[in-house]
Chains A and B, each alone.
Chain A
Amino acid sequence: MTAPTSLEEYRVELRDWLSSDPAALRDLRGWAELEHERYVALGQELSAITWERGFKRFGWPVEVGGLGGGPRYRAVYYDELCAAGLFVPEGDFSGEVLGPAVIRYAPALAAEYGAAMLSGRELWGQGFSEPEAGSDLAALRTRATPTEGGYLVNGQKVWTSNGHLADRLFTLVRTGPADSRHRGISVLFIDADSPGVLRRPLEFASGAHEMCETFFDDVTVPTARRIGAENEGWAIAMFLLQFERAMYSAQRQAWLLARLRELAAQLRRTGQSGDPAAADVLGRAWLAVSLLRTKSAQTVARLDAGETVGPAASADKVLLAAAEQGVLDAARELLGAGFDALDENASWRAQWWYSRASSIYGGSAEIQRTILADRVLGLPPEQARAARIGAPS
């Protein structure tokens, strides 16, 4: 598929192709049973196939090998993949968040590396959090010292999703004075195999290795690898956050609806599908995901129209966590003791643990509620917080 086409035509063509059970995708069907690293690799294969086929190119600009069309095409792509029993490639979760920022703020880097990421040949990681900078991201300390032709980077990042598997690290660094907070942050696009980069996978409570911590010890990064201007990092992070709200939610709702269908199928196999109490639990979870779906569709449409997604989109993040936890809590409740006891439910358990992360990553549930209280509901500011820090603009 290469010719630009309407969104509806695109949806139908993609759906028809997926439902024709193409031979190229058959080897990808067993994804649910895989350990995390192999699952990530399978996602890269899926991206390679759909990029080659043309479907994955829709929604991305020509500068990165795309066919144009805007974010709504991408949302349809993820929606149809999951509806067809496949999954959202792990590389696309970070790709949707980081891709638009690299395209906007570093066109040369986007031209050089964008297609490789989108086509599954490389994986990007998001180096934001640090041991002492989680919700208070502007407190980050990883230092980039100017040198001739670039920067010398020293410090530590943590909780980078798939960071130990990534080829490039989109890294927030301190370029201003130590106390410059959001005014003194820059973004560097660092090769993960650079001398001085040490990565250690973190074992999640589920046993999976989904994240890593990264140590930077005198890592040399050329100026050409800076994204945006020096000290423009906070603006870039805020730009990127819009895509995290809209696109990540669009990806996750597709995934969650598919998980709910899978849960129902599992209940049918064990003869539990006739229980009205189970129907209540499933129905509530379906509703929670439906709220995320319609809200994220609205936000994606706003992004697509070039509008700025403002503080009200923090509601999307709250709905995301409610949907993630609603679905996985439903699985935990309905699968009973077997949820925790049986090996065959390992994938459900891993997903349950990851659902707990949904109210922590990307601005915790508390941060989102504070943003809504301050900037949407106009409630009086918290006295203690107002006295301690100025709210970043």
Chain B
Amino acid sequence: MTVDAATAELLRGSLASMFGDRPHDLATALDELGWADVVDADTELAQDLLMAEHARALSTAPALDAVAAAALGLAASTRFVWPYFGASSRGLPSPCSGLVEVRGLLLGDIPDAAMVPGGGGVFSCDLASLEVRPIGGVDPTAGWHLVSGTLRLSRPERDWALAELAATRGLASSLLALAESALEVAIAHVRSRHQFGQAVGSYQGVRHRLAGAYAALAGAQSLLTAATVEGGLPAARLAKAAAGRAHDRVAREAIQVCGAVGLSAEFPLAGFVRRGFLLDAFFASGRDIIRSFGQALADGADPVRVGKF
């Protein structure tokens, strides 16, 4: 079964209002939406819509956990300790058994237990013995926490690679949605803001900045679409890096054309910009991904060519 375009739009609307209501319990809210059926019908589309609407709403609900849980066939309420910034998206370095030093991220509120990726799988862990504190950083409104301490690990369960792939794509979806939202804010602003007797959006310097940003975004969208159709982690990683760079480009142009108000925390732009910066840095940063592609090329390995004619 596939989901047609009209149904997808209805679903997008339902997700937007669900996240708009600031759900206290995401798994229950998703359950009420019939989420599991959508995942069964078209997993990639379901995850793309979920992560895009989560981003647009600047939600703090643990949507990425729901995506990973679905990929691993676990309950939507399953929570994860995600690799810390700069760490491999594979999770804890192998081998990991016995007492292991853990430093990771909780994306949202603090559960009693969570799954920790490492050794190719995930470990069930009780979080009680770990230190948990808010991360601060560029976007404290994301509600992320740093988890650190020592855990005793036994045998890994499931295959983390499935969750890693889904999460990488999901983050790309979020980044594109944040970039799109930032572009929309900028467009609305330059249409309504007048200087020298005309809309600032009628000046070529402003128009061309936003048009260039749009082209970068359209390119990154096509890359994510192709990466999803063609499959594979390398393609998904390139799509995430592309989405991060497109977001960065849109953010810079949007901030410029919005003038001083674009720098204000009270204006809607900043939220979309900060969240995107956070996601780009997370779970294999765009910078690391781009360098790894460049290094593969330099080493004579042909990096994946995403896009099929």
Contacts and interface: CB of A to CB of B under 8 A. Distances in A.
Interface of A: 7, 72, 75-76, 79, 83, 250, 253, 257, 260-261, 264-265, 267-268, 273-274, 276, 278-287, 290-298, 300-301, 312, 314-315, 318-319, 322, 366, 368-373, 376-383
Nearest to A313: B218
8 contacts: A257-B305, A264-B300, A267-B298, A287-B293, A291-B222, A371-B211, A376-B214, A379-B191
Contact of B208 (A284, A298, A301, A366): A366
A313 to B, nearest CB: 10
B219 A276 contact: no
A378 B198 CA distance: 15
A283 B294 contact: yes
Given A76-B309, A280-B287, A380-B202, 5 more contacts: A283-B290, A291-B222, A292-B219, A318-B215, A372-B211
Contacts of B201: 379-380
B98 interface: no
Nearest to A299: B222
A244 to B, nearest CB: 16
Interface string B285-309: 0010111111101111011011111
A291 B242 contact: yes
B293 A286 contact: yes
B307 A369 contact: no
A148 B288 CA distance: 69
B199 interface: yes
B145 interface: no
Given A291-B222, A382-B202, A370 B294 contact: no
Contact of A281 (B214, B215, B227, B294): B294
Contact of B298 (A278, A290, A294): A278
B300 to A, nearest CB: 6
Q: How large is the interface on B (under 10, 10 to 19, 20 to 34, 35 or more residues)?
A: 35 or more
Which DSSP category, helix, strand, loop or mixed, fits chain B's interface? helix
Nearest to B308: A297
A381 B202 contact: yes
What are the 4 closest A-B residue pairs judged by CB atoms, nearest first?
A283-B294, A291-B219, A279-B294, A282-B294
A280 B294 contact: yes
A373 B210 contact: yes
Interface of B: 187, 190-191, 198-199, 201-204, 206-208, 210-212, 214-216, 218-220, 222-223, 225-227, 238, 241-242, 245, 287, 289-295, 297-300, 302-303, 305-309
A268 B298 contact: yes
Given A273-B299, A319-B215, A382-B202, A290 B309 contact: no
A76 B305 CA distance: 13
A172 to B, nearest CB: 26
Contacts of B297: 260-261, 264, 279, 282-283, 286
Contact of B241 (A264, A287, A376): A287
A366 B211 CA distance: 10
B298 A372 contact: no
Contacts of A312: 218
Contacts of B191: 379-380
A315 B292 contact: no
Nearest to A72: B309
B230 to A, nearest CB: 9
A379 to B, nearest CB: 4
Nearest to A319: B219
Nearest to B217: A315
A376 B293 CA distance: 32
B198 to A, nearest CB: 6
B214 A372 contact: yes
Contacts of A286: 290, 293-294, 297, 303
Contacts of A373: 207-208, 210-211
Contacts of A253: 307
B225 A369 contact: no
A253 B219 CA distance: 13
A295 B219 contact: yes
A16 B201 CA distance: 53
A287 B304 CA distance: 11
Given A264-B298, A268-B300, A294 B219 contact: yes
Nearest to A274: B298
A382 B202 CA distance: 5
A70 to B, nearest CB: 10
Contacts of B216: 291, 319, 322
Contacts of B208: 366, 369-370, 373
A382 B306 CA distance: 38
A322 B246 CA distance: 13
Contact of B225 (A264, A280, A298, A383): A298
Nearest to A290: B306
B294 A278 contact: yes
A383 B117 CA distance: 57
Contacts of A378: 187
A250 B308 CA distance: 10
Contacts of B242: 287, 290-291
Nearest to B183: A377
B91 to A, nearest CB: 24
Contact of A291 (B220, B292, B294, B308): B220
A3 B289 CA distance: 42
